[in-house]
Chain A
């Protein structure tokens, strides 16, 4: 058949992509404006609002907290999720089929319900400190990414290589670290980075678990927006877009971005 795509359809797709990219361009523009209010196109050019991010202590603090939380939560989740993914791929007969679905429950249950329930049972019920609750909440939230993305790599791994090492006398733990892990490195990096960005951007779980003195960047942004409407929010947003660019570069290098269309 090999018909060409109808020009109207192409025009429609162009409009869609303008719709997708336009608002982000507008944010970048407003962040550079030399005015105390948000305006586009920017009037005058300044980097003042970027400097302002670091002058507002609440932003300084929450940026640190958010990054620490994203790294810590993802690390915990990986330490728990990688063995689970390994077991799922390696011991298909020994483990029940539904177990794979148990690990994706954090995506299936509405995030805001999860946040509310964690606040009630863990933060207030069990009286855990704010940072501990946040770490556990985020580790849980990103578990599906850790298990699924690493699992995809593990499913492509030929376990007979590991068996060969073990039968030649290599201890199991050593075979895991020296043979299995290096072979699924791409999956681990991509999983880590997707989990990291999910944690960094999270609102619905964090909003229930943050408390006096401890907040995350997205929650601080929400609070800031309700009081001030200056270009600082735009510059923080641009900062977060830079993180997104970094994340995309890493995913592209490890699994390829087409991984995300599957």
Chain B
């Protein structure tokens, strides 16, 4: 302890060292090693990527994942924004109750929440039972293992996150601002468009990034509700690694996932900073 007393700098690094070591040894090195294996092909450093982008099957998986992630994000933004708007304006106790109702699913595991949709959308599931009972259909529909079933479950997964992100943001917009707009003659729609929306944009971007990257990299939900037929990047990585034991192919999928998510995060955080009217 004696040398520590003399130097705050040394003390600071000594306290940080275990955490830095953990991240370096168990995240940075393993992930770099995964990325490095994709450039080791004897036919040239980018051969594995060329093979990936040449294969219709693999590109189909990438596009499907993009599509599901984008659709999930758009739906979650719409549902999340409108709901958060109502929650933010709800008074006192009821508001806490609504926040609890949003936090509860968020803290319940992905497997449990995806399982719920397996019971609902299955061939003998609750939705089919209900539709048969009211007589809309005569034969049970097969809703599972479609892109739609994956999207429904993903929206279910991410709407709470969106609501919680946006409630915080919308509460932060002072009532004075909209009041000022109204007293200057702005109609409610105009006040919303000119005052509320610009101030909510950074929050909308943060929420969208969380939902997009979360659904782009998800594993359990596409595995349960999409199966083999609706392979997505997460399930494709797992299949390559653990079923076909093709680690180079799995690493290539991993590398594409890392590039897509990091690019999204970096790009959007720049956009958010640019668009923030308060920090301006």
Report which A residues bind B (CB closer than 8 A).
Answer: 1-3, 5, 9-10, 12-13, 16-17, 19-21, 23-24, 26-27, 30, 37-40, 79-81, 83-84, 86-88, 90-91, 94-95, 99, 102-103, 105-106, 108-114, 116-122, 125, 136-137, 139-140, 143, 147, 171-173, 197, 200-201, 203-204, 207-208, 218, 221-222, 225, 233-234, 237, 240-241, 244-245, 247-248, 257-258, 260-262
Contacts and interface: CB of A to CB of B under 8 A. Distances in A.
B52 interface: no
Nearest to B7: A94
Contacts of A139: 22
B198 interface: no
Interface of B: 1, 4-5, 8-9, 11-13, 15-16, 18-20, 22-23, 26-31, 33-34, 79, 82-83, 85-87, 89, 96, 98-113, 115-120, 124, 126, 129, 156, 159-160, 163-165, 167-168, 171, 175, 178-179, 181-182, 188, 191, 213, 216-217, 219-220, 223-224, 234, 237-238, 241-242, 247, 250-251, 254, 257-258, 261-262, 265
Contacts of B257: 110, 112-113
Contact of B22 (A99, A112, A143): A143
B111 A20 contact: no
Nearest to A93: B8
Given A38-B119, A81-B19, A121-B30, A225 B224 contact: yes
A1 B258 contact: no
A191 B258 CA distance: 27
Contacts of B220: 203-204, 218, 222
B275 to A, nearest CB: 20
A110 B164 CA distance: 22
Contacts of B262: 108
A27 B112 contact: yes
A260 B103 contact: yes
Contacts of B238: 112, 116, 207-208
25 contacts: A1-B178, A13-B83, A13-B98, A20-B105, A23-B113, A87-B11, A87-B13, A105-B27, A108-B261, A112-B257, A114-B27, A121-B33, A136-B22, A137-B26, A140-B22, A140-B26, A221-B111, A222-B220, A225-B118, A225-B224, A234-B115, A248-B104, A257-B99, A258-B99, A260-B99
B231 to A, nearest CB: 13
A147 B19 contact: yes
A168 to B, nearest CB: 15
Nearest to A18: B101
A121 B37 CA distance: 12
A90 B220 CA distance: 40
Nearest to A117: B30
A70 to B, nearest CB: 12
B254 A103 contact: no
| B interface SS class | helix
Contacts of B171: 261
A261 B22 contact: no
B178 A103 contact: no
Contacts of B87: 13
Given A23-B117, A23-B156, A200 B109 contact: yes
A17 B110 CA distance: 18
B217 A87 contact: no
Contacts of B191: 1
B86 A203 contact: no
B219 A203 contact: yes
A131 B11 CA distance: 32
A112 B126 contact: no
Contacts of B22: 80, 136, 139-140, 143
Nearest to B98: A17
A50 to B, nearest CB: 15
Contact of A248 (B11, B89, B100): B100
Q: Which 4 interchain pairs have the tightest Cβ spacing?
A: A201-B109, A23-B116, A91-B12, A84-B19
B224 A222 contact: yes
Contacts of B113: 23-24
A19 B156 contact: yes
Most interface-central of A13, A83, A95, A136 (chain B CB within 10 A): A13
Contacts of B129: 39
Nearest to A38: B119
Most interface-central of B85, B115, B242 (chain A CB within 10 A): B115
Contacts of A30: 119
Nearest to A91: B12
Given A84-B16, A258-B99, A116 B237 contact: yes
Contacts of B168: 261-262
A110 B217 contact: yes
B160 A20 contact: yes
Nearest to B89: A5
B27 A106 contact: yes
